[in-house]
Chains A and B, each alone.
Chain A
């Protein structure tokens, strides 16, 4: 089955700096890679995703990149703000096949210091 590794497990940045979280996956058939943000006391929320036919996707201050050859993908947050502080989970799935479920990475706790 799929295995997703996520690094770092904790990340502390100064407000306004950039943050990068990296994930690697093992199943070359995986084709959909969402990122979830979990704030304290809440459930995870999908914030951005990328499909395997795209190398990069951007949405305001967040962007994701995908390197299919190396089987890794990354989340980039620019101009970080205190409200970006949360736990971020990457995930991978072979979307479209019935019965396939997400495999989550171990999570990254991001702390943005004012």
Chain B
């Protein structure tokens, strides 16, 4: 199983809503990532979890709150987002020692109204 599964595929939310994005992998990877991708741009790193602990936060606003409940799951909690936060949110995983070899999910397309 070499898949990273993300749900939901599409999400529309208002600026006052609270929602969550979910990611799951069963490859035994102990590094998991959240990336944000705007149209026609490369993925932009947001957060990295290593052994279920947050190791990198790329100065992401607090309206984005990551969570890693166990070694297979990664969540991104969303609250009070802005329209400019509309983007494709990608989850990825890798072996801890191979942070260049990422396995990406198909992403969650977020629209903030």
Binding site for B on A (CB under 8 A): 32, 34, 36, 41-46, 49, 89, 91, 93, 95-96, 99-102, 104-107, 109
Given known contacts A41-B106, A43-B90, A44-B104, is B97 in contact with A96 (CB within 8 Å)? yes
List, sorted by A's number, 10 A–B pairs whose CB atoms are closer than 8 Å.
Answer: A34-B101, A43-B4, A44-B104, A46-B101, A89-B42, A93-B99, A96-B97, A102-B45, A102-B100, A107-B41
Return the chain A residue nearest B109 by Cβ.
A41
- The interface on chain B, measured as residues whose beta carbon lies within 8 A of the other chain's beta carbons, has a size of 22
Return the chain B residue nearest A45 by Cβ.
B104
Query: For residue B104, which residues in chain A have a CB less than 8 angstroms away from its CB?
Result: 36, 43-45
| B66 close to chain A: CB less than 8 A | no
Is A102 touching B99 in the complex (CB atoms < 8 A)?
yes
Chain A proximity of B89: nearest CB distance (Å): 10
Is B56 touching A99 in the complex (CB atoms < 8 A)?
yes
Residue from the list A32, A43, A91, A105 in contact with B107, Cβ < 8 A? A43
Residue from the list B43, B99, B102, B103 in contact with A95, Cβ < 8 A? B99
Residue from the list A93, A101, A104, A109 in contact with B56, Cβ < 8 A? A101
Binding site for A on B (CB under 8 A): 4, 40-43, 45, 48, 55-56, 90, 92, 97-107
Is B99 touching A100 in the complex (CB atoms < 8 A)?
yes
Chain B proximity of A47: nearest CB distance (Å): 12
In the complex, besides A46-B103, A95-B99, A102-B100, 20 extra interface pairs with C-beta distance below 8 angstroms are A32-B100, A34-B100, A36-B104, A41-B106, A43-B106, A43-B107, A45-B104, A46-B102, A49-B100, A89-B42, A89-B43, A93-B100, A99-B55, A99-B56, A100-B99, A101-B99, A102-B45, A104-B42, A105-B42, A107-B41
Return the chain B residue nearest A4 by Cβ.
B42
Query: For residue B41, which residues in chain A have a CB less than 8 angstroms away from its CB?
Result: 106-107
